[in-house]
Amino acid sequence: MAELLLELGVAVAAIALAGALAGRIGLSVIPAYIVAGLLLGPSQPLAPVGVTLPVVAYGEVIQLLAELGIVFLLFFLGLEFSVDQLLRDRRKITAVGLIDFAVNFGIGAAIGLAFGWTLLETLFLAGLVYISSSAIVTKSLIETGWIANDESAPILGTLVFEDILIAVYLALLAAVANGGSLREAGVSVGVAFLFLGGLSAVAWYGSAWFERLFTTGSDELFVLRVVGLTTLVAGAALALGVSEAVAAFFFGTGLSQTSHVERIERLVSPARDLFAAVFFFAIGLSTDLTLLAGVAVLLVVAVVTTTAGKLVSGVLSGRVYGLDRRRSLRVGLGLVPRGEFSLVLVALAAGVGTGRLGSVLPAFAVGYVLVMSVVGSLLVARADAITDAIAAARG
């Protein structure tokens, strides 16, 4: 027990330190948590230069906390998912969402096929490079003050579209990945959609019931009910072979209809932040660094093409919203960072563990998210210089 406790202590302290360092140099915390995991992981990247850090094993405790990280990331995604907003701006959101999907998912699919990957592997790769990081993007919107400008509308619209698409996509992939043959896959998809259909129905019609269930004066009892029920729903989904993340997402949308949203956000988000941090750390832990060299070419190709992809789709999306050239380019720059959802997807791929899904893709994903989260932050910070340079180049 002492050993486990010590290991968890080392892990969380390392995460805290990494987060503080990232804040000091003005970078997103997500790459910092991954790097902390890499450094303390079993592959010991610093050992050749004579630094041996305490090794944290990718054990059951870390795995469980990381799993809760996925569940609560998606639970909050559902909780904060605004059906009203989607309906109010549905035409523009659909337009920019489809542009974003066609360009960036298309690039991912093209890369997969060009490198000779199988269909399933390509689907994972395309999803992974397609989806922007809501966490990093919204944070940089606020830091730069872009949130108060017109470019925030297409950026947030794109994120909303991506959020719902990734939930559906995760459900599909989880079902397909678990079944071997086409028939088995069909059955899995059927079970998944029955389960999620039932869950959505409960979420939609049961909001009055949720309203009463979570009404309590005690903050302690409130947190226990939310965390308990969310974990229970996610666990039940996983037992049935349905994505636990997607189940948590639907459960979150159910609660988003109630008056408890703000209280959940105030009281439960610290738990989410802790679990999610362990999740990013665990991604670093479980990465075999020796595989990174093997994916270097793929990584360079993906970074260059998908950065360009977001710029293209962003500029087009800006035009849909009637923005000028400078703001349209900012839409693209703002959406470059990739993060938590790419890693959720790869966690699912690693769970399947066959072919490239178990080895190459996780290493690729870590390298990709590290680069894209940093590149994205830098592009946003230098946005004015970039737009000026482009304007100057055009004469």
- The smaller minimum CB distance to other proteins, of residues 133 and 188, is found at 133
Distances (CA, A) of 216 to 27, 57, 211, 355: 39, 40, 10, 49
User: What letter would DSSP give residue 323?
Assistant: -
CB of 110 to other proteins, least distance (A): 29
CB of 80 to other proteins, least distance (A): 4
- The smaller minimum CB distance to other proteins, of residues 334 and 367, is found at 334
CB of 261 to other proteins, least distance (A): 9
Tell which phi-psi region holds residue 55, choosing left (phi > 0), alpha (psi between -120 and 50) or beta: beta
CB of 88 to other proteins, least distance (A): 9
- The smaller minimum CB distance to other proteins, of residues 3 and 262, is found at 262
CB of 145 to other proteins, least distance (A): 5
- The smaller minimum CB distance to other proteins, of residues 116 and 145, is found at 145
CB of 143 to other proteins, least distance (A): 10
SS (H, E, C) the chain: CHHHHHHHHHHHHHHHHHHHHHHHHCCCHHHHHHHHHHHHCCCCCCHHHCCCCCCCCCCHHHHHHHHHHHHHHHHHHHHCCCHHHHHHCHHHHHHHHHHHHHHHHHHHHHHHHHCCCCHHHHHHHHHHHHCCCHHHHHHHHHHHCHHHCCCHHHHHHHHHHHHHHHHHHHHHHHHHHHCCCHHHHHHHHHHHHHHHHHHHHHHHHCHHHHHHHCCCCCHHHHHHHHHHHHHHHHHHHHHCCCCHHHHHHHHHHHHCCCCCHHHHHHHHHHHHHHHHHHHHHHHHHCCCCHHHHHCHHHHHHHHHHHHHHHHHHHHHHHHHCCCCHHHHHHHHHHCCCCCHHHHHHHHHHHHHCCHHHCCHHHHHHHHHHHHHHHHHHHHHHCHHHHHHHHHHHCC
- The smaller minimum CB distance to other proteins, of residues 31 and 252, is found at 252
Q: What angle do CA 370, 376, 378 make, to 5 degrees?
A: 105
CB of 323 to other proteins, least distance (A): 9
- The smaller minimum CB distance to other proteins, of residues 111 and 323, is found at 323
CB of 148 to other proteins, least distance (A): 3
- The smaller minimum CB distance to other proteins, of residues 94 and 269, is found at 269
Q: How far is CA 212 from the centre of its chain?
A: 31
- The smaller minimum CB distance to other proteins, of residues 242 and 333, is found at 333
Tokens of 220: 């302690």
CB of 162 to other proteins, least distance (A): 11
- The smaller minimum CB distance to other proteins, of residues 85 and 216, is found at 85
- The smaller minimum CB distance to other proteins, of residues 80 and 211, is found at 80
Interface residues toward other proteins, by CB under 8 A:
76-77, 80-82, 84-85, 134-135, 138, 141-142, 145-150, 152-153, 156, 159-160, 163, 262, 265-266, 269, 324
CB of 29 to other proteins, least distance (A): 14
